[in-house]
Structure 1
Amino acid sequence: MPHGTENPLPPLVVSGSDDPRVVAAAATEDYTLHVTPLSWRMSRLSLASVWWGLASAMFWLILGALVALTVGTVDAIIGMVLAALAYGAINALFSRQAARTGLTSNLFSRALFGTHGSVIAPVLVAVTAIYFACFEGSVIAIALKAYFGGPIELWYAVVVAYSVPLIFGALRRFLDKFNGILFPVYIAGLVAAVVWTGTAHGFGGGWLSQGPGALAVSGPGWWWAFTTYMADFVLMMATWDFARFGRLGGREQRFHAVVTFGPVFYFFTIVVNGVAGIFIALTIPADEPLSETSGVLGIVALMGLTGLIFVWVSQTRINTTNFYLAVTNLESFLSRLSPLRLSRVAWGLVAGAIVFLIMLSDVFAFVLVALRYQAVLTVTWTACALAFIVLGRLLDEGENPEWRPGRVPRFDPVGVSAWALGTLTGFGLLAFGDAAAWTGTWALPLSFLVTAAAQIAGMLARRRTQVVLDRPHDPRTEVPDPWACHVRCHVCQLSYIAIEMDRDPSAGHDAICAEHAQNNAAFARAARAEAADR
């Protein structure tokens, strides 16, 4: 006899409105460990304002210039356009899926890899976000030092000290307004930088005729440029963490798929910034090789206080996003390993301390090497997610995959195997090659193709998208509307929307929320036993 059928189920404690205690916690926690309810979604302009903070990094300007110096301006621009199209198409799909499910990349990864297999997802995003917080924060510090003088360590401390408090509030209540105010300033600064550069050094077309540099690359120059931008596929995972705040409805989702997370965003971020960076870098005379440091120093030297303000605005906007992603994913990662919970303020202080220590140490060369390997992991995650969603629709298995801890296995063999095969391919190519050789051009594309092929083959072989634990007693089916009805968790005594709730067979089938189900060993054992008895 299946577990739980000999006794009547305890009634669900259901309410039709948000739990005030949950809403109070969400003011700083943003439902990081839960499904984002419809009541916590943001207007399309507010969400776009937050996400477009990523478009203002000096990184995009300097990367465009570095790619042009390697393969020439024309091939660099072709590669940028292709990258913008690829990023835009994939993230248009991901943004719709994230809004429909309300899941972070961490929670969605459970559908791909199982409860244990998905633990690496928040680590990837957190580590990458911390690196970019160091990278972009150092740009501000260098600009401040160049203009005001003083020890660089002082400016590192200043940057971290004012950056961390910016993410203490909820995403929907502060960052949209903050980034919305600064975005016009960034646009004005970018235009001013281009005009100022052309006025001071001429608007000649020599920068357009820049040919390939001395570094030989494998394959066509435009393809090398495109694969260089693949190294930032962590943005695919970041899309999930932000797009979950999007409201439902065709008009809202189309806007986010095209403008907020789609082709319009990436055309501006990659192509417009990249072309501006090529023009500025190849027009301003420099006595040293181009780097993010030399580019910043050139802008500040040319534009003075105006240039400093431009750099501060561009880097502060993106660092709010970097710190937010670092904090929320560190929180998600710890929640997978321990019942210990830290506040958003505590996690902000931890992230700030890590960023400051990395800034002080001479580890950037090591981190840059590590990021090449990190890029393989994010590229293969993207391939798994893309194949999973697209083939799932073709197999007509619905648009809301199962992800709850008591309903998916500890490891999904298809997802884990596909991710592992692609990752080993990429790691092997990087370990036995170099960035200028064949492996430098093809490691990421081949990793993507191997993973996607393995994911598709595995799902077709088992003739379904994922393996789920077949268990009875699902709160989703016991309420009229699982997105509108709130059910109380027997562990925390807080109420969350029924879409994330489950029945706990280790506690008389009382309701349990997603957060407390994920690390409850008794619940996991009882859920597996209940499924085995079906």
Structure 2
Amino acid sequence: MTITTPPSTLTVSFEDDPRVVREAATEDYSTHVVPTSWRAGRWSLAMAWWAMFSAMFWLYVAVASADAVGAPATIAGMVLSIATYGVVNLVLSRYAARTGLTVALLSRRLFGTLGSALAPLIFAATALYYGVFEGSIVAVALQGYFGGNLKIWYLVAVAYALPLVIGGVRAWLDKLNGVLLPFYVLGLIAVVIAATVKQGYPQVWLHSVASQAPLPGWLTSYLIYMGVWIMMMYTVDYARLGRPQDTRFHGTVTFGWVFYTFTFGVNGLIGIYLLRAWEISGSETGVVDAVIRSLGFAGVLLIFVSQTRINTANYYLASTNLEAFAARVLRLRLPRAVWVGVAGAIAYLLMLTDVLGYLLKALAWQGVFVTAWVAIALVHIAVSPADRDGLPEFRTGRLVPLTAGAAAWLAASAAGIVLTEQGANAALAQLAPLITVVLAAGLYYAALRFAPSAVRVRGGDPRDEVEDVWRARILCHVCDRSYVAVEMDRDPSANGAAICSACAADSAALARAVR
């Protein structure tokens, strides 16, 4: 609607709202743009993110690849994956630091206000599944060494991790993971030495025989690593907390090729070495057995440290995206601490089921949506001038409910799932992630070129009424909090009063007035 009366005057300040800062200590601006004043220091963010380095999953996935295609082909796939992840996360981390957007907020621009709801749900579900996997590793290690009921150890693995993730990245997770990182590194060195002393050097650990496969071994290995492109989404939600002046460091070291050289390369080679030294098959618990056989109780401590680090990231991202999904779809606003508890409860219930029986299938389906999302995000950043050079439009009142981009995402994902599930051609099933990426990129590019714009043309933009959209804070008439002007809009259902991004997403009156 057109506002015919003079709009309400903006209440502008240039200091952070103390109430918002107190909430940010746990919320980390989960449903808001992160102001530059809340960005983490270079090493603070690096230590928080490098929690990802210590997942036992990286040892396991390398062994699974080596069992399938042999160690040489696995190493080739690792190198290609490190290069790919390095380039993609360089782009995504710089974009996230420049805009301060979460996956949920960026998805609004890509898919519309309604179409974007699926992205945080898939993100939260995937983070939860990885949390279940890593938590199960802890439980199996504790039961294997101490005995007892595995269900009780599952509960222990979940319960001790939850309090650790209630604090935000800058307030707590950086410090916790910074302290634990040296213990994990020393533990990796110790486990390799101990395995060699006890078992001798496995002469053929890099020459394992590959089974027959429909695709070249290096390509199969590369596609296996494509299954964890969820790391790209993880990158966005962490990198938004980085300072713009640190983007070069974060793009190379924190989120880029340096990180993946250690995460995929070092972890992967150690995993292959350990299991070949102990002659253990590459099962889900094979890495646990090898570590405990090598170090005994110290191995249990190593697993405890490694899984504590990685699950701080898994539960943190699961809770923030559950919060974003509930706020957008259910219009339910609860503190993130509540969503941490919800994430933990869901994780424990999943552990009580035959989770490994359907975990890989669930991750395969979700992985299709994730790879399509990454392809679409990259195309958008590359070819959308406003997002590349200026500020993206993510405010609810200035976007259509569904974009052609949402149709592109769903169509590419549906094609990927069909290819994954069809049993007639094994090569096509394995190539599903790559085909999905190409389809998603092509369809989204076509949507940008030929479909109507996703942005509504409206006047009265608070961004045009302040000199510096990152310094100015504007008071929201709904929640009575001041947020950075980048995310603020005028509410046509309230005489143009200022409204923050989160409150605008909840307002049915605003949506009606805009229509």
Runs of 4+ in structure 1 off by over 6 angstroms are none
Q: 1:85 aligns with which of 78, 83, 91?
A: 83
Is the CA contact 1:58–1:292 (under 8 Å) kept in the aligned structure 2?
no
The offset of 1:12, in angstroms, is 0.2
1:190 aligns with 2:171: no
Is the CA contact 1:217–1:441 (under 8 Å) kept in the aligned structure 2?
no
Q: What one-letter code is carried by the residue in structure 2 that aligns with 1:358?
A: L
SS of 1:487 mapped into structure 2 = strand
SS of 1:82 mapped into structure 2 = helix
Q: What one-letter code is carried by the residue in structure 1 that aligns with 2:247?
A: Q
- Correspondence 1:347-358 to 2 at 5 A: 347-358=339-350
CA distance in 2, matches of 1:383, 1:182: 34
1:441 matched residue in structure 2: 430
SS of 1:503 mapped into structure 2 = strand
1:264 matched residue in structure 2: 258
Is the CA contact 1:95–1:239 (under 8 Å) kept in the aligned structure 2?
yes
1:370 matched residue in structure 2: 362
Q: What one-letter code is carried by the residue in structure 1 that aligns with 2:321?
A: N
1:484 matched residue in structure 2: 471
Query: In 2 relative to 1, CA 397–73 (structure 1 residues): closer, same or farther, beyond 3 Å?
Result: closer
1:531 matched residue in structure 2: none
Q: Which segments of 5 or more consecutive residues in structure 2 lack a partner in the other structure?
A: none
Q: 1:26 aligns with which of 24, 27, 35?
A: 24
Count of aligned pairs: 515
CA distance in 1, matches of 2:65, 2:390: 38
2:501 matched residue in structure 1: 514
The offset of 1:40, in angstroms, is 0.7
The offset of 1:397, in angstroms, is 6.0
Q: 1:278 aligns with which of 244, 248, 272?
A: 272
CA distance in 2, matches of 1:506, 1:166: 41
1:428 aligns with 2:422: no
The offset of 1:298, in angstroms, is 2.3
CA distance in 2, matches of 1:310, 1:208: 25
Deviations 1:222-264 (A, max 9, x none): 0000011111111111111100000012xx1100000001111
Q: CA RMSD of the aligned region, Å?
A: 1.5
1:317 matched residue in structure 2: 309
Query: In 2 relative to 1, CA 468–396 (structure 1 residues): closer, same or farther, beyond 3 Å?
Result: closer
CA distance in 1, matches of 2:79, 2:388: 34
CA distance in 1, matches of 2:247, 2:321: 25
Tell me whether 199-208 or 39-48 shows the greater mean CA deviation.
Answer: 199-208
Deviations 1:90-125 (A, max 9, x none): 011000000000010000001111111111110111
Is the CA contact 2:108–2:394 (under 8 Å) kept in the aligned structure 1?
yes
SS of 2:389 mapped into structure 1 = coil
1:381 matched residue in structure 2: 373
The offset of 1:204, in angstroms, is 4.1
Is the CA contact 2:403–2:454 (under 8 Å) kept in the aligned structure 1?
yes
User: Percent identity at matched positions?
Assistant: 45
SS of 2:483 mapped into structure 1 = strand
Q: What one-letter code is carried by the residue in structure 2 that aligns with 1:348?
A: V
Query: In 2 relative to 1, CA 240–318 (structure 1 residues): closer, same or farther, beyond 3 Å?
Result: same
2:334 matched residue in structure 1: 342
Q: What one-letter code is carried by the residue in structure 2 that aligns with 1:439?
A: L
CA distance in 2, matches of 1:240, 1:324: 13
Is the CA contact 2:127–2:317 (under 8 Å) kept in the aligned structure 1?
yes
SS of 1:511 mapped into structure 2 = strand
Q: Which segments of 5 or more consecutive residues in structure 1 lack a partner in the other structure?
A: 529-534
TM-score if structure 1 supplies the norm length? Answer: 0.94
Is the CA contact 1:65–1:282 (under 8 Å) kept in the aligned structure 2?
no
CA distance in 1, matches of 2:387, 2:131: 41
CA distance in 2, matches of 1:261, 1:455: 26
The offset of 1:336, in angstroms, is 0.7
The offset of 1:27, in angstroms, is 1.3
Deviations 1:51-94 (A, max 9, x none): 11011011101110110111011000000111111111101100
1:295 matched residue in structure 2: 287
1:228 aligns with 2:224: yes
Q: What one-letter code is carried by the residue in structure 2 that aligns with 1:343?
A: P
1:532 matched residue in structure 2: none
Deviations 1:155-191 (A, max 9, x none): 1111111100001112211110100011111111111
2:164 matched residue in structure 1: 166
Is the CA contact 2:135–2:158 (under 8 Å) kept in the aligned structure 1?
yes
Deviations 1:289-330 (A, max 9, x none): 321212202211221111111111111100000000110000
Query: In 2 relative to 1, CA 228–357 (structure 1 residues): closer, same or farther, beyond 3 Å?
Result: same
CA distance in 1, matches of 2:401, 2:349: 36
CA distance in 2, matches of 1:477, 1:210: 63
Q: What one-letter code is carried by the residue in structure 1 that aligns with 2:5?
A: N
- Correspondence 1:108-147 to 2 at 5 A: 108-147=106-145
CA distance in 2, matches of 1:304, 1:440: 41
Is the CA contact 1:53–1:317 (under 8 Å) kept in the aligned structure 2?
yes
CA distance in 2, matches of 1:117, 1:358: 27
2:66 matched residue in structure 1: 68
1:419 matched residue in structure 2: 409
